[in-house]
Chains A and B, each alone.
Chain A
Amino acid sequence: MPDLERVIPNPTRLALARKRRGCKKTKLAELSKVDLRAISAFEAGEYPPAEETLARIASVLGFPIEFFCGDDLDEPSLDSGSFRSMSKMTAAQRDMALSQAALGLHFMGWLEDRFELPPPDLPDLSREPNPEAAAESLRRAWSLGALSIRNMIHLLEAKGVRVLSLAVDAREVDAFSMWKGARPFVFLNTYKSTEPSRFDAAHELGHLVLHKHGPPQGREAEKQANTFASAFLMPRGSVLANTVKFPSYLTLVRLKKVWTTSVSALNYRLHDLGVISDWQYRGICIEIAKRGRETEPVEAPRETSLILPRVLASLYEEGISRAEIARALNLPLTELEQLLFGLAMTGIDGGRKHPTPPLPINLKRVK
């Protein structure tokens, strides 16, 4: 236990932990048997909770007491990032996602103190009014030609984007991206299947390059990011070279493997490029609906992180397990695991059993 002689919690961290749990003040008051006005006062910094009150709050929220005593964490605000389905999300879901992003920035800051990760290499395409052209410019800048993207997460990471998981188990929350200074971040809902998740990643990449300066919100920005993602994942030349004139639903199931996109994304793209008529497009939409939009046929293998398993393995070799990382960050281990969920294999016992297989890589010490 830390020296609790006089623990003065940081009010912003109290609020952050509560929002992370999707917990209203009334609910927290009820669960921790604290007066609602007191909870508000603690979070407003009017006066601090007594030690045992704080201990109760900490235990209800599932955060270590030490977490509440740190400095302010960078909390992404609504206009620093972009949510794809902002309108469909509840305020609580949004707060959960934003507060998880705050913990993600905290964790990444800690990692970057220890590792030199790839520097950002994203051109600013905010002056390009046409998202399709922006996708083409980015492909040119990255020498991708008309090739299909093998792995979206690896590509983002190699270009200096930090990718973390957004473990909010709600379909409304799909992905989120933001610039923190010169550093781009993408949070992906890794509960999703591979194809839609790749589209989310490309969509967020669109926001990062198209909307760096303005708050990327509103339907227009979302539409731009969707067009960008569609063109980035399925370049025009490659689609026209690989498609057939009268594809059926089953043709699309076969064809989609070329770009690892969902049937519906490919259907949309084919229609967009004039390969199929409105009538064909609608027919395939109906086929997709009949089979259920939730399940993607013939799902591709899941994409994981290139960077996170390596840095975790490297730390583990130094004797720093995930549990120790969580302790260093004053976070519950589950929070760390959720940031890594689906990106690096998550251990059930706190990473003590070497959850990521050791990789044959040489990590060089700088000094």
Chain B
Amino acid sequence: MTLPASVYVESWDVNNRLGELGLDEPLLIQAVDRGLAAWASCTANHPPAIPGIWAWAETMCSLREQLIFRGWERLNESNWPLVVNGNQMIAISVATGDEQTGRKAGFPSTSSAKGPRTVSAIVANQRQLVFPEMMLPPIDSLNASGRATWLLLMHRDKDARQVRCELSRPISMDLEGRVDGWAERIILSPRSFDGYDDTLVGDGSGPQSPEITVEIRRRA
């Protein structure tokens, strides 16, 4: 099942939709950055899977830390970590996406198969699409039919040296269990990880901190 998703790209549109969900882009970006920093703290002595896992874990932790201040709650449904808003209508989890992630015209999938909890969340998301032809169900209609689960999808693009991310509402999975269909995709600004690299050293150049930019303003 592949429905064309409603895609939010322009910053006013992104901010508007995030605002409706009780979120904002800086909050999500801060969570993504926290994951990047966790990645950066790993060295070649860490097991290969760890940088990704730590990045995922720290991103989730940062989301919760920030959102709990806004009245959201931490929820672990059979070990599936979520953060849920006060009226239990919106839940967010974090997942790694494939290279289509964060691309305006992309069709992203999660990079790994998801468990039964994700399946039931997607089924619940599907039920909320009472009128599938309506691309953008209003929040109220979602409230009527239960919780909407969103995924903060992140993808490290090594070639472009950026992390692309989006907050998206999944509605379908492929046969292998990867999430591959979305009702809405809110595209966030990509984060440069120039330097945040997992390549092992040997040729004499190591992973380096990112290029720095500073803002300088001319006073009138």
A258: chain B residues within 8 A (beta carbon): 201, 204-206
Is there an interface contact between B201 and A147, defined as CB atoms closer than 8 Å? Answer: no
B205: chain A residues within 8 A (beta carbon): 257-258
Is there an interface contact between B216 and A143, defined as CB atoms closer than 8 Å? Answer: no
In the complex, what's the smallest C-beta–C-beta distance from A299 to chain B, in angstroms?
14
Interface flags for B91-123 (1: CB within 8 Å of A; 0: not) read 000000000000000000000000000000000
Is there an interface contact between A146 and B214, defined as CB atoms closer than 8 Å? Answer: no
Interface flags for A179-203 (1: CB within 8 Å of B; 0: not) read 0000000000000000000000000
Interface flags for A253-264 (1: CB within 8 Å of B; 0: not) read 011011100000
In the complex, what's the smallest C-beta–C-beta distance from A216 to chain B, in angstroms?
26
B219: chain A residues within 8 A (beta carbon): 113-116, 366
Is there an interface contact between B215 and A144, defined as CB atoms closer than 8 Å? Answer: no
Give Cα A357–Cα B6 distance, bound, in whole angstroms.
Answer: 45
| Chain B positions 199-214 with a Cβ under 8 Å from a chain A Cβ | 201, 204-214
Is there an interface contact between A154 and B212, defined as CB atoms closer than 8 Å? Answer: yes
Q: Does A149 contact B (CB under 8 A)?
A: yes
| Chain B positions 168-207 with a Cβ under 8 Å from a chain A Cβ | 195-196, 201, 204-207
When the two chains form the complex, which single residue of B38, B195, B206, B218 contacts A366, counting CB atoms closer than 8 Å?
Answer: B218
Among A233-241, A327-335, A345-353, which stretch is in contact with chain B? Answer: A233-241
Question: Could you tell me how many residues of chain B have their Cβ less than 8 Å away from some Cβ of chain A?
Answer: 32
B207: chain A residues within 8 A (beta carbon): 147-148
Is there an interface contact between A148 and B43, defined as CB atoms closer than 8 Å? Answer: no
A157: chain B residues within 8 A (beta carbon): 212, 214
Q: Does A306 contact B (CB under 8 A)?
A: yes
Interface size class of A (residues with CB under 8 A): 35 or more
When the two chains form the complex, which single residue of A114, A145, A154, A367 contacts B41, counting CB atoms closer than 8 Å?
Answer: A145
- Nearest residue in A to B201 (C-beta to C-beta)? A242
| Chain A positions 137-183 with a Cβ under 8 Å from a chain B Cβ | 140, 143-151, 154-155, 157-158
In the complex, what's the smallest C-beta–C-beta distance from B206 to chain A, in angstroms?
4
Give Cα A363–Cα B37 distance, bound, in whole angstroms.
Answer: 29
Residues in chain B within 8 A of chain A (CB atoms): 33-34, 36-45, 195-196, 201, 204-220
Known: A143-B40, A258-B201. 4 other contacts (CB 8 A): A116-B215, A116-B218, A314-B216, A364-B218
Q: Identify 22 residue pairs between A and B in the complex whose beta-carbon atoms are under 8 Å apart, listed by A's number.
A: A115-B217, A116-B215, A117-B216, A143-B36, A144-B209, A145-B41, A145-B42, A146-B40, A147-B196, A147-B206, A147-B207, A149-B209, A150-B195, A150-B208, A150-B210, A158-B212, A158-B214, A237-B41, A238-B206, A240-B43, A242-B43, A242-B201
